[in-house]
Structure 1
Amino acid sequence: MVSPGGRKSAVSGEAPVRDRARLHDARTATAVGRWLGAGVVVCFVTGLISHGLQTPPDWLAPRLPTRPVWGYRVTQGLHVATGIALVPLLLVKLWAVRPRLFVRPPVRSVLHAAERASVGVLVSAALLEVFLGLVNTAQWYPWPFPFKPVHWALAWVLVGATMLHVAVKAPQAAAHWRRSPADPQGPDRRSLLLGTGAAVGVVTLTTVGQSVTPLRRLAVLAPRAPDASAQGVPVNRTAAEAGVAGLAAERWRLTVAGPRPFDLTLAALNALPQHTARLPIACVEGWSAAADWTGVRVRDLLERAGAPAGAGARVVSLQQQGGYRVSELPPPYAWDPLTLLALRINGRELSPDHGFPARIIAPNRPGVLQTKWVGRIEVLS
């Protein structure tokens, strides 16, 4: 019930007239919630793909797909673009339901308390998850905990809370959506939704160019500009940051450990059959860029070391610290003809920041696993 003065009745819990006039109504919240829910689903599914490619369980590693070569570029670019688009959607959704977040009295029953607690978890998880993902695109970490496991755990909390909220509110949402919007706020609601859609379009167009090449010129808000980067590919970690800036080519050796181990100098590696592949490199922050990579096939090195068919490989970088100093090439990658120990990019020798003298490049693989400054490759039985 609503009093003549427009105040909300503690019995009905409905929004006051003055709030409904400002579009704080269930129909508006339902309309924005549909878009928000779809975005959460896209982010969650693409996040599962990213996590599976980065840290595959034992049963999945031998089955990881290397095709299409641009697969990770698309899924991770979509993940980050959708996450950025969730920012205006989430803000509008919270604005639309604001009166219900601050009802008086705050708790009317045990059931009402449980519902409000679940909403609190949902709102907190959504805000924190989007914030963490957004600042990760700029590689800014103002917190003491590791980003990846927290982001992964929060994703499950957010999805679980969303599913619970949808299950509880589905009948009400369906009723509000089926009801004819005969109230005078119909045109205002359409204007709000159009404005929300425009905001989503603007933040998407001004950032998605970091992974969608035709839109590069519009990506004025993207943290990376691949075309303006050294050798046409952005760098997340420089040689100086990795502690390998003074690496001398004449002292470098590649060690390949296996049944028939051997070492190679850079000159000897350059004397082996060279192969070129055009492959994209895509980072978890959302940027990606394609380049022509030239080097020696990893499978050729494994065969020379006596690796059994179907064996994987461990790649060790010369950098002494960092979470991705060591990476593994599961069999599908290790034996793919496009997986290279690259020595050149776009016809030029790798720069120190791009992994000189040698780095891994493989199809459909996260950029953090395309190990730079390779010093050792080990056959895994």
Structure 2
Amino acid sequence: MEGMKVPSLLVFSGRLHDARTATSVGRLLGVAVVVCFGTGMVSHYLQHPPGWAVDALPSRPVWGYRVSQGLHVASGTAAVPLLVVKLWTVYPRLFVRPPVRSVRHALERVSVAVLVGAATFELFSGLLNTVQWYPWPFSFVPVHFAVGWLLVGALLLHLAVKLPEIAAHWRRGAEATVALSADGAGPDRRSLLLGLAAAVGAVTVTTVGQSFTPLGRVDLLTPRHPDHGPQGLPVNRTAVAAGVLPALRSVADWRLDVAGPRPFLLSLDELRALPQTEVELPIACVEGWSKSARWTGVRVRDLLERAGAPPGAGLRVESLERHGAYRVTELGAEYAHDPLTLLALTLNGRTLSADHGFPARVIAPNRPGVLQTKWVVRLEVR
């Protein structure tokens, strides 16, 4: 803070509003942001793959999306106390006068403004997404994705502008050791960092249990508990919310329409009469929760073969839903031909409940839960 002028009414006497403390916290925040951004990209492109990538997305490992999305939500949650403390260490710099002293200083202030705004939006909109509360008029997914890139761009600009100071604080050697031992704020800084570590640990341990089930007993702050829900599995969208109950009341008239070179229709009894396969797969949702379950049904690749699908064909899956962004989904070739991908009829040994997709739903490995289409009525060979 040396050499900077602040208004007399805004004199900051705290010893931890300094570059060393900001750098120490910034390193931790940077790790959390990088992990959150990287796993966020994985999540986005699995949910919304470009056309050329639909058939190339991998169906293995089966736990891939579960781990990736669990890390995404956990790192984003952990970043909240890190961001708050980081802002606390640097906020006096907002009151520096004159506000702009050079081109480099102007770039620094612009990068900080964009960085703080983007980081705050990303973390708190992400937290609201975990509870499925959207108090804004725009679509969450594309805006969250775009602002994520904006955040990374602002971070790179900020790092470029601050590189000389960052390098100075990363240096090691006798001179740095002497400086640290002579730093009167050392004990306070250590106390701050220990308190911050405790806060990060607390929010992580009490939320990560929604995907890391061994900690499920202490998931006190999570909006979803993996064991709570119909048939012991949570649901994000019920049959009532999807508006499919009227169609399910006439299930005797339900037919699975499989469109392909040799199209056919199957009633529910005919579908049950086909060879059944049982698999254990996790269902993992973008909100961060996941849970493994036993699913039984007909292999999708067997239905493809019966329909005369050519090698490498994918599927377009349609739901009984009449509205919704995921009423129609694409099941790429890797998923469609994986022996673990089922048109499931039962969950944990019991007929699917209405909320879990009765009479039939898709379950596939390494696939976002929002694409595990429920209330399936049509499969179309692509």
**TM-score w.r.t. length of structure 2:** 0.94
Maintained 8 Å contact 1:314/1:378: yes
Question: Considering only aligned residues, what root-mean-square deviation do their CA atoms show, in Å?
Answer: 1.7
Amino acid at match of 2:26: G
Residue in structure 2 matched with residue 47 of structure 1 by the alignment: 40
Query: Deviation of residue 186 (structure 1)?
Result: 0.1
Query: Deviation of residue 107 (structure 1)?
Result: 2.2
Q: Report 1:264-283 matches (<5 A).
A: 264-283=266-285
Q: Report 1:186-197 matches (<5 A).
A: 186-197=186-197
Larger CA deviation: 117-126 vs 244-253: 244-253
Residue in structure 2 matched with residue 229 of structure 1 by the alignment: 229
The correspondence for 2:312, drawn from 287, 310, 313, is 310
Query: Deviation of residue 176 (structure 1)?
Result: 3.2
Q: Report 1:207-356 matches (<5 A).
A: 207-246=207-246, 247=248, 248-356=250-358
The answer to whether residue 177 in structure 2 is matched with residue 155 in structure 1 is: no
The correspondence for 2:119, drawn from 123, 126, 135, is 126
Q: Distance in 1 between matches of 2:135 and 2:4?
A: 43
Query: Deviation of residue 307 (structure 1)?
Result: 0.5
The correspondence for 1:70, drawn from 63, 86, 111, is 63
Query: Deviation of residue 266 (structure 1)?
Result: 0.3
SS in 1 for 2:49: coil
Query: Deviation of residue 9 (structure 1)?
Result: 4.1
Residue in structure 1 matched with residue 202 of structure 2 by the alignment: 202
SS in 1 for 2:187: helix
Residue in structure 2 matched with residue 100 of structure 1 by the alignment: 93
Query: Deviation of residue 108 (structure 1)?
Result: 2.6
Q: Deviations over 1:5-37 (max 9, x none)?
A: xxx643xx8xx9974633101000000000111
Residue in structure 2 matched with residue 5 of structure 1 by the alignment: none
Q: Distance in 2 between matches of 1:73 and 1:98?
A: 37
Structure 1 stretches of 4+ moved >3 Å = 16-22, 176-179
Maintained 8 Å contact 1:27/1:177: no
SS in 1 for 2:359: coil
Maintained 8 Å contact 1:279/1:290: yes
Q: Distance in 2 between matches of 1:109 and 1:184?
A: 32
SS in 2 for 1:145: coil
Query: Deviation of residue 171 (structure 1)?
Result: 1.4
SS in 1 for 2:55: helix
Residue in structure 2 matched with residue 185 of structure 1 by the alignment: 185
Q: Deviations over 1:172-212 (max 9, x none)?
A: 02213444322211000000001111100000000000000
Q: Deviations over 1:205-242 (max 9, x none)?
A: 00000000100011010010111221121111000111
Residue in structure 2 matched with residue 174 of structure 1 by the alignment: 167
Q: Distance in 1 between matches of 2:4 and 2:243?
A: 66
SS in 2 for 1:277: strand
Residue in structure 1 matched with residue 84 of structure 2 by the alignment: 91
Q: Distance in 1 between matches of 2:323 and 2:199?
A: 41
**Identity over the aligned pairs, expressed in percent?**
68
Q: Distance in 1 between matches of 2:154 and 2:132?
A: 28
Maintained 8 Å contact 1:21/1:185: no
Amino acid at match of 1:186: G
SS in 2 for 1:63: coil
Q: Deviations over 1:152-186 (max 9, x none)?
A: 00110001111111121121022134443222110
The answer to whether residue 40 in structure 2 is matched with residue 36 in structure 1 is: no
Query: Deviation of residue 56 (structure 1)?
Result: 1.5
Larger CA deviation: 160-169 vs 105-114: 105-114
Q: Distance in 2 between matches of 1:342 and 1:358?
A: 6
SS in 2 for 1:291: strand
Q: Distance in 1 between matches of 2:323 and 2:144?
A: 22
Query: Deviation of residue 110 (structure 1)?
Result: 4.1
**TM-score w.r.t. length of structure 1:** 0.94
Q: Report 1:370-381 matches (<5 A).
A: 370-380=372-382
Q: How many residues get paired?
A: 371
Larger CA deviation: 62-71 vs 310-319: 62-71
Maintained 8 Å contact 1:239/1:245: yes
Query: Deviation of residue 377 (structure 1)?
Result: 0.3
Query: Deviation of residue 57 (structure 1)?
Result: 1.9
Amino acid at match of 1:276: E
Q: Report 1:361-376 matches (<5 A).
A: 361-376=363-378
Query: Deviation of residue 130 (structure 1)?
Result: 0.7
